[in-house]
Structure 1
Amino acid sequence: MRSPSLRLPATLLLSGLLLLGTPAQTAWAQTAPAQTAPAPAPTTPLPAGVKFVTEAEGIREYRLNNGLRVLLFPDTSATTFTLNVTYLVGSRHEGYGETGMAHLLEHMVFKGTPTSGNILESLGRRGADFNGTTSEDRTNYFETMTNTGDNLAWALSMEADRMVNSKIAASDLKTEMTVVRNEFESGENDPFSLLYKQVRSVAYDWHNYGNTAIGNRSDVENVPITRLQDFYRRYYQPDNAVLTLAGNFDAAAALAQIARDFGKIRRPWRTLPAQYTVENPQDGERSVTVRRVGDQRILLTAYHMPSVRHPDMPALLVLDQILADEPAGRLYKALVQSKQATAIGTLTNSASDPGLLMYAAVLGKDDDTAPAQATLIRTLEEAGQTAFTDEDVARVRARVVSSFEQLLAKPEQVGVTLSEYIAAGDWRLLFKLRDDLEKVSAADVTRVAKAYLKPSNRTLGVFVPTGDPDRVAVGAAPSAAEVLRGFQARAAQAAGETIPPEPAALEARTVRSVVAGAKVALLPKKTRGGRIELVLSLNFGNPETVRSGDDAADFIAPLLTRGSKDLTRQQLNDRLEAIKTQLSVSGGAAGATVRLSTDRTNLPEALELVRRVLREPVFPQADFDELKKAALDGAENGRNDPQSVASLALSRQFAQPGAKRGDLGYVPTLDESLEDVRAVTLEQVKDYYAKVWGAASVQVAAVGDFDPQTVTAALPGILGGFTSGVPYERINLPLVTPKSSDLVVNVPDKANAIYLARLNFPLRDDHPDYAALAVAMRVFGSGTDSRLFNRLRQQDGLSYGAGGNISVSSEDEKGSFTAYAIFNPGVTERVVTAMREELAKALGTGFTDAEITSARSAILQESRVARSEDATLVGSLARQAYLGRTYAFSADLEAKIAAVTPQLAQAALKKYIDPANLVVVRAGTFPK
């Protein structure tokens, strides 16, 4: 973590709060460097390999050929010098399992090098005031010494030596790890430290600023020495470091020695990994409660704020000072003077990336936190409603100017302070921030208060002291070897038989018949585990029943498995689990499908359960209410989902011309659908089942390890007497071919948008053109090797998923083409252009021999895969039974596909896909 400034009034016991108020983890607490600003320096001649970069307010920057940056700030009035080396590595650079590594490494480099010996001891012998600290963005080492004897020469030589030659030895890690662990444990003893750590963790989802620099205990205890050494070699290099020398020294002589000591370190070959994680905006209030032993209750609020480089930062820093000032600050007045809290504090946790603006309130152990919590939040989040005054801002300005003047008078603090701004991008940011602070107006402060102190941007932490914390410690699991000691596996299941997934081979094994009025297709074969897949399809109803009872009928199928005569829902589920069976029913106003997956032994009982579910429903009121609420909630969830919105908008474009609400060809709006569902009653559901459901047209298919007699013997019991009260008539609406249109629907606050396009055409799957069109579409959009996918994802990187498909009927002259893409709303025009260009290219220049060959092969291979899966195979058999087809149709279609040429594919595409007829819908949050 970085060193934020924590301001707390004298009335507060600071033991723990100040420790965490400066949460940069330190190696040895010799000094507590302040944060503020630098002073001037004279001109120096340049040694070989050194070039001048820039100068600001007496500080000169140079750069060595190996990338090391050098800042010199001489002050002849001082009696000491401070040498500070800042490495641009902190806790934000740590990977998984590496938390605390930057801080642990900070300790390790004090252990010395083969030539410098133990650096801790050497610094002590020279009477140095020294330390090392680790924050989110940087690690720094500094020593303040008198400029006598060889102190400066030794310090420069030592820092150059430990930059690349530190031992980082396993023997040192063994002892230093326990020291760091003890530092970790000291933080665990402090209530504010515990709360601070948890609030940061909850406030950040992804960014490493959510981790404290001290790290996770197990990472500190178990990090391999090789990983620590790799981390050291990667980041402790001259091109990733800035050396600052301030105080009493001769600039020319010092620069010459820096060039000698550091210039001989070669520039590394490695490239540092980029830091690119950006925390998403917080979507609402967050909170965390910590219950541990303690003597105070603590409240801590955190609000995300921008980087220290952001133009809002000066105003935020002024806001922070004004709110927490004592005694004029709003927080102090609202909480301390009202006696709701004993102390308040602020942590301006500004950093290179967006940080946190944090405010604390401390209460007595037995105090009620509710009033103080409400006051704390109200005072912060209503701050912008009462304008700040020029007097408020002027008071803070005076304090800031004074602090900078004090810093510039203390060269020993300049280098350490500059570390924070070096880590943020450039040391001169310190002075820029000072100048910008002087320009902040009261209006600026009011504006940033309104912008950042919001409930949706808040994380609240509460520390509740308790004498007996109830913490759940999850124990370590034994190793896999220990768990498996003495384990004896069961015998392998008998393997099933292999039937080639070719149409002729499957047809030769399929037994087709009519039983109890049902068309039956059975394919018995040996399967692993004796498993069986069965499908029973029912067709019923007619256009009139569907028109009048569509919404009520949707509830029948899910209610059938919610219990039947003499079987509650739980009893049914328990029985299915006991016989290793999965049973589902789906359907609506014109048909239903029962799917059964069981094994040979339990097939008879499973079929009996199918009978009871289909024939003996009870339609519980409570389950109907539950399903109805779920249907309404699910529909509402789509109101602001771009894909749902676009799909509905596209469907409405293809509604039957002239259709009115209640007509079969009408597509209702979302609100109309919700109204229709709300109007459905359980009596309507029961009535539709009683009058319409039945075995008007039935198909049964089974694949797996079964005796066909077991299935055929059960069908009369399942279907006998199960008759519909209305004549069956298949629904057949006319093909709709609307005019081309391009509809854009704005859906608020969505990061992703959807593109949908469709056109209809007359075509059935037994037409000679179908095979050629299917192959053309495979090349164009139906696969991860398609043109659309390659263009929008692989080439342009515009979409995670993009493609196109055709769908044709097996019964009517109805077909449709669809294309889709999901994308960032900012690239919508590029997506539209890519879609248009790829379709024009396919229509204009056609396809290559290689593309067509690959597409034909892919389609045929996918068909083989589908026929190899019993759950898919059984559905195909049921569909064949309904259509009166056999695998001869599949064999004929595949022969046609194998014969498709580039010319046939392009001709089919031109015949049926006309871009001038496309209906396009885009939905998302589009730029205005």
Structure 2
Amino acid sequence: MRAYGVLSAPLFSRFPGGVMRFPAPLFLTALLLLGVPAAAQTVSAQPATAQTPATQTPAAPAAASAQPTLPAGVRFVTEVEGIREYRLGNGLRVLLFPDTSQTTFTLNTTYLVGSRHENYGETGMAHLLEHMLFKGTPTSGNLMEQLSKRGASFNGTTSDDRTNYFETMTNSGDNLEWAIRMEADRMVNSRVSADDLKTEMTVVRNEFESGENNPFGLLYKQVRSVAFDWHNYGNTAIGNRSDVENVPIGNLKAFYKTYYQPDNAVVTLAGNFDEGQALTLIADSYGKVRRPWRTLPRQYTEENPQDGERSLTVRRVGDAQYLIVGYHIPSVRHPDAAALQVLGELLSDEPSGRLYQALVQTGQATAAGSITNPGSDPGLATYVAILGKDDDLQKAQATLLSTLENAAKTPFTEEEVARVRTRVLSGYEQALTKPEAVGVGLSEAIAAGDWRLFFQGRDAIEKVTPADVQRVAATYLKSTNRTLGAFIPTAQPDRVAVPAAPSAADVLRDFKGRAAQSAGETIAPEPDALEARVLRETVAGAKVAMLPKKTRGERIELVLSLDFGNPETVRTGSDAADFVGPLLTRGSRSLTRQQLHDRLEAAKSQLDVSAGASGATLTLSTDRQHLPEALGLLRQVLREPVFPQADFDELKKAALDGTEAGRGDPESVAGLALGRAFMPADAKRGDLAYVPTLDESLQDTRAVTLAQVRDYYAKVWNGANAQLGVVGDFDPQTIREALPTLLGGFDSAVKYERVKLPLTTPAAQDLVLNVPDKANAIYIAQLNFPLRDDHPDAAALDVAMRIFGGGTDSRLFARLRQQDGLSYTVGGGAHTSSLDEKGSFTTYAIFNPVNSEKVAAGMREELARALKEGFSAQEVATAQSALLQELRVGRSDDASLAGALASQAYLGRTYAFSKQYEERVKAVTPQAAAAALRKYVNPANLVIVRAGTFK
């Protein structure tokens, strides 16, 4: 089960599911409909992530580095593909995955405790404890504040089998030593006090309520509950509300002392660090923690075979229909696990997947996919269909069940299975180029018994045959093993006895692993160092910025931005223009959609298109060997689209269903109301600055035809105003030679003119909008002001907003979450344009509707305090340090660097601007920060929107 975390992206609710697969064009729709964090998603058009193991054969890796001298009390255990395992005398396992080409490290601590270890009356305790461990120890202070001050990217997550905590930081100063000592300290010294529980319990309860807003999440939770009679996999990690509210502090402390011990933990360090130094720090910090005397409780509950079909119905207010069907499957360690994963891919893939073809292409559903729960114990394989509110539910249900339970009757071909092998192989190879992501992703394999299962699972998938897939489909996808609802007697029971899995030691007895990939080079993420390596030139009319460098796996990230159209084409064609981007990847004149999909996977490449009425961004990720082929595929996508009618109809239906689903979502309702409040007072429908109502948007989308979409592309799209950013292991000459073919002759009679919308400053409003039957509400506030990002005030305002609402050490977070326990997600910030004198101030929070006035009062009071008292010198220094470290982290990612280079080319900037901005941040004084806040943020001008069930 995908975990709940301490933190999440603002305005997004959590979903207690597994790794979800949905068609790529519907990814955003599914995300909004289901409330699933982006990090928990696997889109069917993309390779598998490190958390969805796949098979690969790495190309000619370099030899591993020499083993460091071991500190006293540390012994070497094993090494697989560049990852070394060590063991301390107290039982702590340590995994080291160094990569000096990175500038950051990730420290991940996995505890072998999750929701399945909870007792009656204590559901949600593992997740609640995860939150509590950020409160700090008697000597550390609040850890969210400390991590935020160091500019760290961090979180904690809880799942069925494990809990993990991780932080990504630049390896500068004492960050590495501090992080290791902090994690060793909170392992056994966390406060876990009654006072902290009082406030954090309400935060977790607010997270629970946020999930209760989600019809899909409610249904999924019930399916799990009905599918399992006795095993704790029937419970989600968020737990039961009354348990979360009432768990005694003594129980929580006992749970902590039992499971948070060195012999029940695995510490993984990946990225930029010296292996010998890291081992010494780990031995010194963790080695002081004594091995516990207690014996861990044995988990022995086994689920009985299911005796027949089960079904259930959840009736709640909503605007979409959902179908979920689950089948019991073995542990991830069982030999059938690899074939079951391949089966899931074959059923849920797009466009070749059987569910997609049977449900989506026939118009019976908006989306179809799967949720996988790879667990240490037997779990569920779950399949999903999303329908519009007026679609025929019974017809779609019959198609869903028939497609799944008759899957074994139609043989899977070697071509289909090979396609999956290619995809997952590429996914593994790409995942291993990012040691820090692998470091966190290993938590799932650790929870299943041993971190090496990550690689063993890859090798197992490589051996799966069509016959294996056929066999597991026939074995597990049976009506008597299905959960849709209530018990129905049958004349002849047909039970599926899920076989026991071997131990991890048995599975790995003869496993060797492969050689590690070669690492790349290190470039300091500083403006001067980066600028010294950038090649800036004009090629085929495009502004090009290239940063060649050695990378792990010889990976390359490319971002191509195009600007086109003018205010008139945008005004008259924006609705049709929205369909151009998604349709570009639906096939070209020489390649079908499936062929394009297969060619990209074979070339170990991903291609994404994001487009609107006045521009497009095409992102390409590939490697040095396949760069010429990938650029050729990019050209076909950009220059030779075919715009199939069936695909247009599918996308149009999804757009309509997604828009309709927003009618009952507080966040969508509040966002639309805020947008309409900030449009010009005299704006009329058809004006560029007009924001349509939901019904008007539906009407506009219904009116779009494929002929209009094709016409917009033919008349408006062109490559005359292009910017290209490329970062990675490539020969610049390859780019120079490809651009004339890629962009040459790609012209339009429509001359480009940038759309400029006016800055609006409406009168203050306080809107309270009722959305029925929702357990969670949303608060959003905004005001606008004239300010550009190159003005000296911009840096001062950024520092002020970092203190006020920009991190987990901010005043808003400390007040509404830490002190009052009113909100799971709360914050605020300021945004300034790089082109126009346009800026905005926003704050947001989610909350239980009964706390609406308390949240509003807290927001008012904290803003009034900041305006009156200003900020201390310590607050300003901390905010400056955090902002600068966050910028360094952003410049450490190659995909982000490629996007930044393309943006610089458009704006006519270099990293000299970044350096100048950082100098301005460093120069901000407490007086300047306070003055900027007072100059641009006037509470009397705030437009406030609250949406939820207030009646």
Task: Give the alignment's TM-score, normalised by structure 2.
Answer: 0.51
Distance apart, 1:463 and its partner CA: 3.8
Distance 1:730 1:771, change over 3 A: same
Distance 1:756 1:217, change over 3 A: closer
Q: Deviations over 1:678-697 (max 9, x none)?
A: 00000000000000000131
Letter in 2 for 1:788: L
Distance, in Å, in 2 between the alignment partners of 1:288 and 1:552 is 33
2:544 equivalent in structure 1: 520
Structure 2 residue 943 is matched with structure 1 residue 926: no
Distance apart, 1:100 and its partner CA: 14
Letter in 2 for 1:888: A
2:579 equivalent in structure 1: 555
Distance 1:211 1:717, change over 3 A: closer
Distance apart, 1:465 and its partner CA: 3.2
Distance apart, 1:287 and its partner CA: 13
1:851 equivalent in structure 2: 875
Structure 2 residue 947 is matched with structure 1 residue 916: no
Distance 1:216 1:602, change over 3 A: closer
Letter in 2 for 1:610: L
Distance apart, 1:218 and its partner CA: 13
Structure 2 residue 682 is matched with structure 1 residue 658: yes
Secondary structure, aligned partner of 2:940: helix
Matching of residues 689-768 of structure 1 within 5 Å: 689-768=713-792
1:465 equivalent in structure 2: 490
Q: Deviations over 1:531-583 (max 9, x none)?
A: 00000000000000000000000000100000001101000001111111000
Counterpart of 1:284 (choices 301, 307, 315) is 315
CA contact (8 A) 1:755 1:821 kept: yes
RMSD of equivalent CA atoms:
3.1
Distance 1:757 1:475, change over 3 A: same
Q: Deviations over 1:246-293 (max 9, x none)?
A: xxxxxxxxxxxxxxxxxxxxxxxxxxxxxxxxxxx98439999999xx
CA contact (8 A) 2:557 2:619 kept: yes
2:630 equivalent in structure 1: 606
Distance apart, 1:767 and its partner CA: 0.4
CA contact (8 A) 1:289 1:461 kept: no
Counterpart of 1:866 (choices 882, 887, 890) is 890
Distance, in Å, in 1 between the alignment partners of 2:325 and 2:225 is 21
Counterpart of 1:832 (choices 856, 861, 877) is 856
2:607 equivalent in structure 1: 583
Distance, in Å, in 1 between the alignment partners of 2:532 and 2:874 is 34
Distance apart, 1:491 and its partner CA: 1.4
Q: Which 4+ runs in 1 deviate beyond 4 A?
A: 94-101, 202-212, 215-219, 285-291
Distance, in Å, in 1 between the alignment partners of 2:788 and 2:937 is 15
2:520 equivalent in structure 1: 496
Distance, in Å, in 2 between the alignment partners of 1:207 and 1:616 is 46
Distance, in Å, in 1 between the alignment partners of 2:325 and 2:605 is 45
Distance 1:838 1:867, change over 3 A: same
Letter in 2 for 1:742: D
Distance apart, 1:460 and its partner CA: 7.4
Distance, in Å, in 2 between the alignment partners of 1:549 and 1:496 is 46
Distance, in Å, in 2 between the alignment partners of 1:841 and 1:97 is 43
Distance, in Å, in 1 between the alignment partners of 2:858 and 2:491 is 63
Distance, in Å, in 2 between the alignment partners of 1:100 and 1:905 is 49
Distance apart, 1:466 and its partner CA: 2.3
Counterpart of 2:504 (choices 475, 480, 490) is 480
Structure 2 residue 565 is matched with structure 1 residue 533: no
1:785 equivalent in structure 2: 809
Matching of residues 211-360 of structure 1 within 5 Å: 283-284=314-315
CA contact (8 A) 1:289 1:464 kept: no
CA contact (8 A) 2:224 2:233 kept: no
Secondary structure, aligned partner of 1:804: strand
Distance, in Å, in 2 between the alignment partners of 1:841 and 1:204 is 42
Counterpart of 1:641 (choices 651, 665, 670) is 665
Q: Deviations over 1:291-348 (max 9, x none)?
A: 9xxxxxxxxxxxxxxxxxxxxxxxxxxxxxxxxxxxxxxxxxxxxxxxxxxxxxxxxx
Counterpart of 1:821 (choices 805, 830, 845) is 845
Structure 2 residue 927 is matched with structure 1 residue 903: yes
Structure number with higher relative contact order (C-alpha < 8 Å, ≥ 6 residues apart): 2
Distance 1:96 1:211, change over 3 A: farther
Secondary structure, aligned partner of 1:464: coil
Secondary structure, aligned partner of 1:638: helix
Distance, in Å, in 2 between the alignment partners of 1:217 and 1:496 is 44
Letter in 1 for 2:856: V
Secondary structure, aligned partner of 1:563: coil
1:142 equivalent in structure 2: none
Distance apart, 1:725 and its partner CA: 2.0
Letter in 1 for 2:848: N
Distance 1:218 1:549, change over 3 A: closer
Secondary structure, aligned partner of 1:475: coil
Distance 1:98 1:786, change over 3 A: closer
Q: Deviations over 1:363-387 (max 9, x none)?
A: xxxxxxxxxxxxxxxxxxxxxxxxx
Distance 1:600 1:463, change over 3 A: same
Secondary structure, aligned partner of 1:829: helix
Letter in 1 for 2:496: V
Distance, in Å, in 2 between the alignment partners of 1:735 and 1:100 is 54
Distance apart, 1:657 and its partner CA: 2.4
1:667 equivalent in structure 2: 691
Letter in 2 for 1:466: A
Distance apart, 1:793 and its partner CA: 0.5
Secondary structure, aligned partner of 1:757: strand
Matching of residues 330-409 of structure 1 within 5 Å: none
Letter in 1 for 2:703: A
Distance apart, 1:483 and its partner CA: 1.4
Distance 1:216 1:99, change over 3 A: farther
CA contact (8 A) 1:584 1:595 kept: yes
Distance apart, 1:479 and its partner CA: 1.5
Distance, in Å, in 2 between the alignment partners of 1:730 and 1:796 is 46
Count of matched residue pairs: 505
Q: Deviations over 1:854-877 (max 9, x none)?
A: 100000000000000001111111
Structure 2 residue 836 is matched with structure 1 residue 812: yes
Distance 1:857 1:544, change over 3 A: same
1:679 equivalent in structure 2: 703
Counterpart of 1:890 (choices 899, 908, 914) is 914
Larger radius of gyration: 1
Letter in 1 for 2:565: G
CA contact (8 A) 1:779 1:852 kept: yes
Distance 1:287 1:823, change over 3 A: closer
Letter in 1 for 2:315: G
Secondary structure, aligned partner of 1:584: strand
Distance, in Å, in 2 between the alignment partners of 1:95 and 1:565 is 52
Distance, in Å, in 1 between the alignment partners of 2:531 and 2:221 is 60
Distance, in Å, in 2 between the alignment partners of 1:501 and 1:556 is 36
Distance, in Å, in 2 between the alignment partners of 1:518 and 1:287 is 48
Secondary structure, aligned partner of 2:806: coil
Q: Deviations over 1:748-770 (max 9, x none)?
A: 00000000100000000010101
Letter in 1 for 2:771: V
CA contact (8 A) 1:204 1:210 kept: no
Distance, in Å, in 2 between the alignment partners of 1:767 and 1:921 is 30
Counterpart of 1:842 (choices 866, 873, 879) is 866
Q: Deviations over 1:780-827 (max 9, x none)?
A: 001111101111100100000011111110011000011100000000
CA contact (8 A) 2:656 2:698 kept: yes
